[in-house]
Amino acid sequence: MSQPFERSDDTGMLIHEPDALAKLVSESAARGLPVGIHAMGDRAIRVSVEAIDRLGPDTIVATSRRTTDGTRVAPFRIEHCSLPTDESLRKMQALGIVPVPQPIFLFAEGEAYRTQLGDDRCARAYPLRTMIDLGLRPALSSDAPRHRWRTRSTLGPESSPRQLGAPGQDRNSASGNRCPSPKAIACSTTNGAAALSMNGRAGAVDVGMDADLIVLPDDPLSAPHEELGSLRPNLVLVKGRIMYKADG
């Protein structure tokens, strides 16, 4: 972190110092390897973005277009990307870096975040709606189980969910970074496929795509968010093969 945790002088740690991280990124890019950096605090994210930026625009473009066995190499990613500044997000958008947050974190660990970060910083954590509004294509990672992260509520005291942030609609409010269902689904499907350079074969239901899909009993776009967790698939297909049917 650039600022200490609440009631502490501790700012966390960098596993790799900036120059060492930049060297690792450069060596990976030179081999045509996709680069995914785990970074949570605002300083760690800034250092990660700067390590990628130091490659220079020509290398970034060349790396993103290089192919292995005919498959486009994945773009650069920042895993977690928990507490980015707006400046880091704008630079990520300019460099084509993909943020990859985990939906479970705010729900399962939100109260710990509140204790360690305070309400103001906690309200800005995992700013999915801001990422989308700035033109980024966040991919939601599959750390399981899924919960009510898009509503920005935590598993509060005595298992009673409560909202992160103050009431209102701006970015720092409880609802300002909520993500509507269609955008949340896109982050888990089309954006995820693009982050893995699989957008020509996965992430959508279309001719020529891998038929990896589920059939739900109700429309997730119109169902109340508190009911989404109870939807169970009637049918699961993997590459067109039926792997599960509700009737056996």
Q: Are residues 148 and 242 in the same domain?
A: no
Record the tokens describing residue 21, joined without a space.
């991280």
CB 240 within 8 A of CB 202: no
Burial class (CB in 10 A: 0-12, 13-18, 19+), 18: middle
Q: Are residues 233 and 171 in the same domain?
A: no
Q: Are residues 43 and 118 in the same domain?
A: yes
Record the tokens describing residue 116, joined without a space.
């360690």
- Identify residue 202 by its one-letter amino acid code: A
Q: Are residues 25 and 148 in the same domain?
A: yes
In the chain, the number of structural domains is: 2
Q: What is the pLDDT of residue 68?
A: 46
Task: Say which CATH number the domain at 26 has.
Answer: 3.20.20.140
CA distance 218 to 216: 5
Assigned domain for 202 exists:
yes
Assigned domain for 6 exists:
no
In sequence order, the β-bridge partners of residue 72 are: 67
Q: Around Cβ 220, how many Cβ atoms within 10 Å?
A: 15
Which residues have a Cβ under 8 Å from the Cβ of 183 and sit 6 or more positions away?
Answer: 129, 132
Q: What is the pLDDT of residue 135?
A: 92
Query: What is the 8-class DSSP label of residue 225?
Result: G
Peptide bond into 127 cis (omega under 30): no
Q: What is the pLDDT of residue 239?
A: 93
In sequence order, the β-bridge partners of residue 136 are: none
Record the tokens describing residue 191, joined without a space.
């954006």
Q: Are residues 197 and 216 in the same domain?
A: no
Orientation angle between helical segments 57-65 and 18-30, nearest 10 degrees = 50
Q: What is the pLDDT of residue 2?
A: 97
CB 117 within 8 A of CB 125: yes
Orientation angle between helical segments 42-53 and 18-30, nearest 10 degrees = 40
Assigned domain for 7 exists:
no
Assigned domain for 142 exists:
yes
In sequence order, the β-bridge partners of residue 235 are: 215, 245
Q: Are residues 202 and 236 in the same domain?
A: no
CA distance 39 to 52: 13
Q: Are residues 95 and 153 in the same domain?
A: yes
Assigned domain for 54 exists:
yes
Q: Are residues 40 and 122 in the same domain?
A: yes
Burial class (CB in 10 A: 0-12, 13-18, 19+), 154: buried
In sequence order, the β-bridge partners of residue 73 are: none
Identify the domain containing residue 236 by its residue range: 211-248
Assigned domain for 2 exists:
no
Alpha helices in the chain (DSSP H): 18-30, 42-53, 57-65, 86-95, 104-123, 128-133, 181-188, 190-195
* Closest to 179 (Cα-Cα) out of 128, 133, 220: 128
pLDDT digit string (tens) for the chain, length 248 residues: 999 999 999 999 999 999 999 999 999 998 888 899 999 999 999 999 999 999 998 888 777 765 445 555 567 999 999 999 999 999 999 998 999 998 788 888 888 988 999 988 888 899 999 999 999 999 998 666 655 556 677 776 655 567 766 555 555 555 578 788 889 889 989 998 888 888 788 999 999 899 999 999 999 888 887 788 788 999 999 999 999 999 87
